Structure 1
Amino acid sequence: MTDLSNLKLFATQPHPCSYLDDQEATTLFIDPNAAVDQALYTQLSQIGFRRSGPHLYRPHCAHCSACISCRIPVESFRPNRNQRRCWNRNTDLSLELVTEPDRDEHYRLYEHYINTRHGDGDMYPPSRAQYDAFLSRAWGVTRYLEVREGDQLLAVAVCDTLSDGLSAVYTFFDSTQPRRSLGVLGVLAQIEQARVLSLPYVYLGYWIKHCRKMDYKTQYRPLEMLVNRRWVRVT
């Protein structure tokens, strides 16, 4: 186990919050020159850090603690009725966890997703450089859960394999098939994959109470939230 007290940390200047209007955010980053491996990445995830591209970070805001890390305990998870319907509705699709995807194929789907679903967000307009930087393979732990209908790629859930779970990095999908609820399917598929791999958790990143974009995370129960440095179960 790495002594985390030896890690160098860097904080950004306050900047506009991406999630809450009229709020300023400060972000804490791990030294980009640090020797990160799966064990260290797992330790940092357990205390609330996330990955974006090659960077590990967590919020460090002076006057706000709204961002709460959350994870799903795989063995205790019980899908609700809508989640069961989503899973059963998509039994005709194939799921495969790959390490070396066709990045051109993935980028085309990612570009479609950003253009059709997030035209007002920080990631618009999409570019190949942005895609490669954001969803790059880091430290040999990144996997791509592909969802296909025959040969057609419908969704990709990018996740990192930790010592104690999967960390859900980002999911993008074909927005022309709303009936399939591919975003929900992406989370359910990662839970199932963690179960197959005998990993106890799926880390979902941050939940923010007053941010509608984060509401979906509380639909997966039970859920564990990192509160005052302790993981607390919410049923």
Structure 2
Amino acid sequence: MKTVLAFGDSLTWGYDPETMLRHAFFDRWPNVVAKALGHKVRVISEGLNGRTTAFDDHMVPAERNGAKILPTLLASHQPLDVLVIMLGTNDLKTHTGGGRVFESRQGLERLVEIAQCFPYQRGYVPPKILLVAPPPFTATMEPDFSLLFGHAVDESLHFRSAVTKVAEEYELAMFDAGEVCETSSLDGVHLDAENTRRLGEALIQPIARLLGLEDDAGAPR
């Protein structure tokens, strides 16, 4: 059996901008991928609301710094075949990553270095990595999210170029979530059920390709 670790924030956890709770299990994108790939693949969903690439948030009870928790996850879930990283949204908060995609790119590079250089159990190799650029923000009238992310609506348009740059530098696979889904105007940063399902459907083929599960026509098998 192949193993995929989906490492992300609330977009991976499945935060519903309408209810402010969690999307139904099979609406969350990691579970859409798991259902499509079937019993051959185990997809581990490791999403946490507010998670950053490599920045501390001292105002919450859970550890949100992705660079601090990733080594533990790599150790506990090894051996891994594919690591999917979709982070960066929360780096654009001014009190974490400073509000710029530039810092988010640096944090993403740190995560890649951790995954590639981690001392895996003897006999195991580092997983293949798929970097997913978060979708750009949408302007919102929701007061709290407007205060938290409103300054970065234009800045979020640079996610694609920043993640592409990291993928090219480390010769990794890359996917732009903004090509297939858009954030909800209810809060400007999260995905409704339709859009998170759409993201999962779009990621099936890239993940299957990294796992070597495509047929001759390029479809998952």
Q: TM-score, normalised by structure 1?
A: 0.32
Structure whose alpha-carbon radius of gyration is higher: 1
TM-score, structure 2 as length reference: 0.33
Q: When you count strand as a share of all residues, which structure comes out higher?
A: 1
